[in-house]
Structure 1
Amino acid sequence: MKQILLCLLLMLFSTQLSAEKYIVGAQNIGYYPHYDFSASEDKGVGWAILEAFSAHSGHEFIYLSMPIRRLQLELLKGHVDFVYPDNPGWYNQVTKNTDKYFSSPLTNAITGTFVPKDNTGNSMERIKRIAMPLGFTPVNWQQQVDNKQTKLVWVSDIEAGMWLVQKGRVDAIDLETHVATHISKNVNGLAPLTLDLTLPHNEIPF
């Protein structure tokens, strides 16, 4: 039977069904305000919506935070019922989109290329090294990467990636706008980065 995959809305479940317990496999990266399943209290918008549904329906959700690649492996093995977040446009070598069901998205995220304020307006050719959250699909930069014009620098921590930009160790970071704003406001000494609209950016639902 095909696994049901979360991007999410769980309207597939009738509130009249008997209460069930479901395991949600979640990315183990802090991407607040969208999600941060390592947080002790507020785990982000995705978690809040799931918890609201849980309270309304009686269904219980157990959250397991793990690396992105492992999420797909555990889904394939049947060890988790849902994966959050996910998107048909994201690449992985483990599962096929034809073997998964995607729900309607919970939110639309504006993702783009963030650079220091003084470095806006440069061409793509000037971006030689770009920080990317580990396991993410470089949708906006895939062609540049494939052509070896831009090198990906994987980071397991978003804040660390933003520091790399500020220190000049990479030219930019591929990031969601609300996430960038949240980190900039809450980390002392980290200067706000600017979303350069002349560089690749897009809207991604999940």
Structure 2
Amino acid sequence: MWLEMKLTSMVMTCLCMAFIGTAAASSFVVGVEEIDYYPLHSCVNGKFSGYGRDLLDAFAKQSGYSFTYTPLPVSRLFHTFLNDSSIDFKYPDNPHWQADLKKGKSIFYSAPVINVIEGLLVKPEKVDQLSSASLRAIVTMRGFTPWPFEQAMRQKINNGTIRVYQEDSFSKVIGLGMTGHYDAIYASPIVINYYLDEIVHKPGALVFDRKLPFESNDFSLSSIRQGEVIKQFNEFLEKNQPLIIELKRKYRLPEKAAQ
């Protein structure tokens, strides 16, 4: 009897350990930007939302995973992701972002989740009036680097000829841009137009100036350790195009590459 009880106890212990191991293997922490970049993604009062959240949740549900989202300021998120094993994935990410910090790190990137233009928005009366040579002051989000520029402009930013002011929220960035005291703000027109249309009800108060430098950014999911899950996510993106189109329509995002 004692032997049977001992064997039963050992079996139950093994089963519990196996269950715990399986649960741990399917539960992941996704580090996300603690900013309001809606409708692309947003984290306000600790709640992650927007297109990115819906897409990642759909993948997790379909794959049997559990995602916990950990919001961090943009700069701290990079350092935590690269140096702290507490975060399994980073969203969004791009191989070109903070490239200097990533040197020597082997990082897996998913296929693009969405392609987004990021550039300079100006007061309507300044459209087509500014050039790379005349820019003097840019406002952007803290942790963002407005680097769609040629080396000469980067040098001007580095030596202070072009001043880059950073704020902790896009409401402040947009507010400063609307004062006209700065040449431009750097962000995605999708985000700025949403804020102007839906939040402050001043559509067109800032306008994307295509004559100034801009870039087309791919937003991807990245990981240092979970390369296999990144592969699964790529398969999910490939096989679920109707869902992706539906989500983009829900958030009024371009269905093709950056527009």
State the TM-score bracket (shorter-chain normalisation): 0.7 to 0.9
Aligned-partner residue type, residue 31 of structure 1: Y
Aligned-partner residue type, residue 56 of structure 2: L
Q: Deviations over 1:47-82 (max 9, x none)?
A: 110011122111010000001222123222101000
Q: Which residue of 2 aligns with 1:103?
A: 110
Is there any run of 5+ residues in structure 1 with no aligned partner, and where?
A: 1-16
Q: Contact (CA 8 Å) 1:38, 1:65: kept in 2 or not? A: no
Between Structure 1 and Structure 2, whose CA radius of gyration is higher? 2
Aligned-partner residue type, residue 34 of structure 1: L
Q: Contact (CA 8 Å) 1:88, 1:97: kept in 2 or not? A: no
Partner SS, residue 126 of structure 1: coil
Q: Deviations over 1:91-142 (max 9, x none)?
A: 2654336421111110000111100001011212322110111101221243
Q: Which residue of 1 aligns with 2:142?
A: 134
Instruction: Within 5 Å, give how 1:125-164 maps onto structure 2.
Output: 125-141=133-149, 142-164=154-176
Residue of structure 1 aligned with 2:88, choices 81, 103, 118: 81
> What's the Cα RMSD here?
2.2
Partner SS, residue 42 of structure 2: coil
**Distance (Å, rounded) in 2 between the aligned partners of 1:81 and 1:42:** 17
Higher deviation after alignment, 58-67 or 147-156: 147-156
Q: TM-score, normalization: structure 2?
A: 0.67
Which structure has greater helix proportion?
2
Runs of 4+ in 1 over 4 A off after TM superposition: 39-42
Q: Which residue of 2 aligns with 1:56?
A: 62
1:20 aligns with 2:26: yes
Give the CA deviation at 1:174.
Answer: 0.8
Aligned-partner residue type, residue 64 of structure 1: T
Give the CA deviation at 1:42.
Answer: 7.3
Partner SS, residue 26 of structure 1: strand
Is there any run of 5+ residues in structure 2 with no aligned partner, and where?
A: 1-21, 220-259
Partner SS, residue 61 of structure 1: strand
Q: Contact (CA 8 Å) 1:130, 1:152: kept in 2 or not? A: yes
Q: Which residue of 2 aligns with 1:11?
A: none
Q: Which residue of 1 aligns with 2:13?
A: none
- CA 1:107 to 1:177, structure 2 compared with 1: closer, same or farther past 3 Å? same
Identity among equivalent pairs (%): 28
